[in-house]
Structure 1
Amino acid sequence: MVLPTTGTVVSYPTGSTEGTGTVLHVEPVGERFAVLLDVTPCHPVDAGWPDQGADRATLTWNGGSAEVVDCVVAATDGSALHLGRDIPVRKGTEGWTFVVAHLVTEAPPVGIVVTVEVDEKYRKAISLGHTGCHLASLALNRAMAERWSKEVSLDALGSPNFDAEANDASRILERGSLDTYRLGKSLRKKGFRADGLGDDLPGIEDAVNGELDAWISEDAPVRIDCDGERLTDRRSWVCDLADGEARISCGGTHATRLGELKSLRATLTLDDVDGTPVLTMRTAQA
């Protein structure tokens, strides 16, 4: 068994949905096979921060084809391949190689060149959802700014970063997103004032949607800045708003302009979960 010693080259950050790659390794995983390519346009889910799921894609080669039933970040130290949550080290750990594993039920032979075709319609819907998620987090941070009594980290536009301090889970949906925020004791110790939030929630929601309307109307371009072409190279979502440049570390896929979001609505709800207030923000194109 020969495992790769260099990370997968990924083309999805630039918006690619089709490409070719050479099969470097094939490994049985239950009733499936993990196929490793040298290059891929297929976005994998990262177990460390699984907000954006895997692309839908197909591998085609001379004599066969297979649907990619899942696509995950994997890692190897040269002796074994570890998939997803089974990776025992942090991404970027010295001596480990991080790769994209395409899970299929029928595998191509090692050494052959395959064509990877990503479902463009689904990719587009998820990319819109991811860009909208970033924009909504900035709007929510701004709407929550007056509720902080202590200094905390600031977001890309200079507001107290409520999203970073309180986010419990984030999920990118087709043309939308779902985020939950725990408003527990640790957040209040950092200076966040949660009292009266339920009564103020309609006004906060209106403020978030007002910001979204204003920013989307600018139709500012969106780009992904990459430090390199490998899977583990740092990437950032960048949008030049009238309020300033917004730069957020992100490994996902995105729209190319804010105008593509059209009319994005955020809905806020507040619930009690085992004695802890939990704020939920759902975004969706109207």
Structure 2
Amino acid sequence: MTLPRADTRVTYPAQTVTGTATVLHVAPRVDAPGTAQQVVLLDESCVHPVDAGWPDQGPDRAMLQHGDAHYPIVDCIVAATDGSALFLGRDIPVSKGTEGWSFVVAHVIEADAVLSAGDTVDLTVDADFRRALSVGHTACHLASLALNRALADRWKKEIRLDGLGQPDFDGAANDASTIRESGSLDSYRLGKSLRKKGFGTDGIAAALPDLEAAITQTITDWLSTDAAVHVERDGELLTDRRSWVCALPEATVRIPCGGTHVSSLGELGQVRVTLTVADVEGTPVLTMETFATPTA
């Protein structure tokens, strides 16, 4: 069976939760020993996959239907192929854009499903779960911008600025990010490399309550504007560049992002953050949790 030689077309950036597609390839999953699963590649997908390169937003929950048969999609992963073999997630040996390689959405279903190349299938995404992740992802971007603002006076050297013209602490220090249902979790290393860049860490633990209040108030002010949000993309393929765009009062901000988002800030309802600092193997790590209470 021939593997696809083109990237998957994706529709989830436009908040699509249903779609019809053609099966291009079906094969047993080989990257997870002991599982009886198979991988289905389609020409188009509305299902958001997890990307091993930056796995902040996990996969959608979704169903694949062929005729009267319904198959739960138990995982959805970015994969890559050179036309002769398929590599899933962390097994991908090349970076996106490598000549001769295609990046595809791998829909994982149980091995007893009966599908063949050329079949037409319907996809249905769990819209409530998708919305919860979209709320969490938009709230995460707002929190990162508000965190940059709250920490701006701690920089003693010039560094790269964010979309609002503020020192980009999030870009300089973010170690990991996880999008949750209606929230997020981000960690920032406050080590030597950050201090060499000019960031002052003295007294930051004692300042956490004031920082929390400032970040939450900034986000609250932005939410009150009900500013428009959308995903801007260069094309319809999985590897085409995409950005989160939000018309904040200070400026329209663009942040490179492959995830899903709401249409306006008003959908987030209320958002609050909590901050903690802990020692991790000798390095202080700042953790920011974001919690949204979205509108119905």
- With the length of structure 2 as denominator, give the TM-score of the two structures: 0.95
Question: Which residue in the other structure is 1:26 paired with?
Answer: 26
- 1:115-194 residue pairs with structure 2 within 5 A? 115-194=122-201
Q: What is the distance in 1 between the residues matched to 2:3 and 2:242? A: 25
Deviations 1:123-171 (A, max 9, x none): 0000000000000000000001000111111111111100010001000
- 1:1-286 residue pairs with structure 2 within 5 A? 1-29=1-29, 30-105=35-110, 106-286=113-293
Moved more, 108-117 or 129-138: 108-117
Q: What is the distance in 1 between the residues matched to 2:212 and 2:254? A: 23
- Aligned with 1:197: secondary structure? coil
For 1:231, give the aligned amino acid.
L
Q: Does the 8 Å contact 1:129/1:172 carry over to 2?
A: yes
Q: Following superposition, which runs of at least 4 residues in structure 1 exceed 2 angstroms of deviation?
A: none
Task: Give the C-alpha shift of residue 118 in structure 1.
Answer: 0.2
- Aligned with 1:198: secondary structure? coil
For 2:149, give the aligned amino acid.
R
Task: Give the C-alpha shift of residue 94 in structure 1.
Answer: 1.1
State the identity %: 59
- Name stretches of at least 5 consecutive residues in structure 1 with no aligned partner: none
Task: Give the C-alpha shift of residue 63 in structure 1.
Answer: 4.1
Q: What is the distance in 2 between the residues matched to 1:93 and 1:142? A: 37
Q: What is the distance in 2 between the residues matched to 1:136 and 1:208? A: 7
- Aligned with 2:93: secondary structure? coil
Q: What is the distance in 1 between the residues matched to 2:155 and 2:5? A: 47
Q: Does the 8 Å contact 2:135/2:292 carry over to 1?
A: no
- Aligned with 1:130: secondary structure? helix
Q: What is the distance in 2 between the residues matched to 1:192 and 1:249? A: 24
- With the length of structure 1 as denominator, give the TM-score of the two structures: 0.99
- Name stretches of at least 5 consecutive residues in structure 2 with no aligned partner: 30-34
Task: Give the C-alpha shift of residue 107 in structure 1.
Answer: 4.4
Q: What is the distance in 1 between the residues matched to 2:12 and 2:65? A: 18
